[in-house]
């Protein structure tokens, strides 16, 4: 599916930051060098990766809409699914207001529930290219994209490792606590781990997916502020940057569970 169809579906026919080629004249200086994100799209399209989803943050002012942070999700129809219902994806982030560099990372879409997990840098590197200094030229981008796409060999290995790992009760409690600590300050909040852990399974892959979804959506979380008996209702994690960072950290915790000496 081409980006024009995605924009029509999301009613984003104007003020699409991804398609802009100018920098924000208010929030950036002359030191800011624009990266040609259209060349990124083209380089990924050549490799048969196409945008299947696009979101951008809501600007504080309507005049800033052309420059705000965005996230584009690319998928490849020729790629085999990992373990049946997992479709690999490339995440393309950026902005034209100085709030975000060009970022490329990798993800997995669960085709059953459409949930996207983000692969952490313990499995494959995340690529960041800044807008200040030696920025990549359109001529360099195809080679950079090719090199980025060639670093994903460890993804199916780590997925398989999670799927075959059975946790002891103590390991499961520690894994859940480590995941909770990525979102909540343990000095301030007390989280009932029974509201986080998936019942009746010790499987790491199932627990990872359940805990990740629970922490992001937050509907079933039981949380209270330490020193009080009052429950605290938590909001879902919806921000682009906040959501991706949390997902990467949770992935890395799962990887460290099966490979404890990875750095």
**Interval 173-218: pLDDT, tens:** 999 999 999 999 888 888 899 999 999 999 999 999 999 999 998 8
Tokens standing for 163?
A: 């799927």
Rounded Cα–Cα distance for residues 109 and 173 (Å): 26
pLDDT value of residue 8: 57
pLDDT value of residue 132: 74
Helix (H) or strand (E) holding 90: strand 86-94
Q: Tell me whether residue 56 is exposed, middle or buried, using C-beta atoms within 10 angstroms of its C-beta: 0 to 12, 13 to 18, 19 or more.
A: buried
- Nearest-CA neighbor of 259 among 150, 142, 161, 119? 161
The rounded radius of gyration (Å) of the Cα atoms in the chain is 20
Rounded Cα–Cα distance for residues 247 and 219 (Å): 17
pLDDT value of residue 6: 58
Phi–psi pair at 231, nearest 5 degrees: -70, 150
**Sign, Cα dihedral of 189, 190, 195, 199:** positive
Segments in the chain below pLDDT 70: 1-14, 133, 261-263
What does the DSSP 8-state code read for residue 101?
Answer: -
pLDDT value of residue 162: 95
Rounded Cα–Cα distance for residues 21 and 41 (Å): 13
pLDDT value of residue 1: 45
C-beta of residue 191 within 8 angstroms of C-beta of residue 180: yes
pLDDT value of residue 30: 81
**Sign, Cα dihedral of 122, 125, 129, 135:** positive
Rounded Cα–Cα distance for residues 153 and 97 (Å): 34
Q: Is 144 helix (H, G, I), strand (E, B) or coil?
A: helix
pLDDT value of residue 2: 57
Distance from chain centroid for Cα 161: 21
pLDDT value of residue 49: 93
């Amino acid at each position: 599916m081409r980006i024009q169809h995605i924009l029509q579906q999301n009613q984003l026919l104007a003020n699409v930051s991804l398609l802009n080629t100018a920098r924000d004249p208010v929030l950036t200086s002359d030191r800011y060098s624009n990266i040609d994100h259209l060349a990124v799209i083209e380089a990924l399209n050549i490799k048969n990766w196409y945008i299947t989803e696009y979101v951008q943050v809501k600007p504080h002012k309507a005049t800033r809409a052309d420059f705000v942070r965005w996230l584009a999700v690319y998928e490849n129809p020729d790629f085999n699914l990992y373990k049946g219902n997992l479709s690999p994806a490339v995440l393309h982030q950026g902005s034209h207001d100085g709030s975000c560099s060009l970022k490329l990372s990798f993800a997995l879409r669960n085709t059953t529930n459409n949930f996207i997990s983000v692969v952490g840098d313990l499995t494959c590197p995340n690529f960041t290219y800044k807008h200040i200094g030696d920025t990549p030229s359109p001529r360099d981008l195809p080679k950079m994209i090719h090199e980025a796409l060639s670093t994903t060999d460890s993804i199916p290995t780590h997925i398989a490792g999670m799927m075959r790992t059975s946790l002891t009760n103590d390991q499961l409690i520690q894994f859940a606590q480590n995941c909770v600590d990525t979102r909540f300050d343990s000095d301030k909040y007390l989280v009932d781990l029974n509201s986080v852990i998936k019942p009746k399974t010790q499987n790491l892959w199932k627990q990872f997916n359940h805990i990740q979804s629970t922490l992001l959506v937050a509907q079933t979380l039981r949380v209270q502020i330490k020193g009080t008996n009052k429950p605290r209702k938590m909001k879902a994690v919806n921000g682009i940057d906040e959501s991706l960072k949390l997902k990467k950290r949770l992935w890395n915790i799962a990887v460290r569970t099966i490979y404890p000496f990875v750095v």
